[in-house]
Amino acid sequence: MAQLVLPLYPDKIPNSIPGPDEEVTYSEGWFRYGNVSRPTLSVFLPPSNIATGTAVVICPGGGYSIVAFKHEGEAIAKELNKVGVAAFVLKYRIPNDKIMTDKKIGPLQDAQQAIKIVRERAKEWKIDPNRVGIAGFSAGGHLASTAGTHFDKAVIENKGNINLRPDFMILIYPVISFTDSIGHLGSRENLIGKNPSPELIKYYSNELQVTPKTPTTFLVHAGDDDVVKVENSLRFYEALNKNNVKAELLIFPAGSHGFGLINPTTKDRWIERCIDWMQSNGWLSVDK
């Protein structure tokens, strides 16, 4: 269990329309939340004797309709803790016109706020503020990659001018694109509506928003993913490479979508590859 669960906003939740808390919990199968209107951040700190100072904010998936908290959040946090990485599982708001003035920016506000909190409390949690990454699964991967490509514009109050750019990204079978050809249209509709403008589609198609300032990225996808096309990861990798941003891409031949920590079709564990990648980039060294 998390050592601490924090309300993401200590006071008023920005961009919110007051109303009753209608959050629901689904415990059958994979544990997940629906109708999230009061976001939280669950804190998982590693044992102090192996702490590296690196932290990861984790955005579980769910098509922007639920938050798959356990198998795409808590399970990942525990694995990261084993190698000395602090993990913060974000229960972000589900975009909904009923509870938000502008649902398009609600989840991004929560991701930016999570990064801000981790950097503001870095000393307390023994974290290096220059080693704060973000991870995301499926639609959570869209949220994470949006945080990694739209960090120049703060959509939250940031009086202290805290750096909102993740230092690295870990994207697992991510929704990247909102284009008609390869995008996950369910996630698109939930976030930006049924009939979005071409400009809005482009803005939230993160393969089109990569620049040389985009953080280095680790990507995982299955070639037979029939929910989120593998082209999402391929196009993002190509955009990173074109912009001279270092990236690593792991494509499983099978596994479909939503497998979380363990792809049941192979003994090859992506989390071990990810840890190797983090090690090679110096994020697991204590004295970097």
Q: What is the pLDDT of residue 131?
A: 98
Q: Please report how many Cα atoms fall inside a 13 Å half-sphere around the Cα of residue 32, on the Cβ side.
A: 19
Of the CATH numbers 3.40.920.10, 3.40.309.10, 3.40.50.1820, 1.10.10.10, which one belongs to the domain with range 4-280?
3.40.50.1820
**Positions in the chain whose pLDDT score sits under 50:** 288
Core vs surface per residue 165-175: b (16+ CB within 10 A) or e: bbbbbbbbbbb
For tokens 């589900």, name the residue.
94
Return the pLDDT at 287. Answer: 59
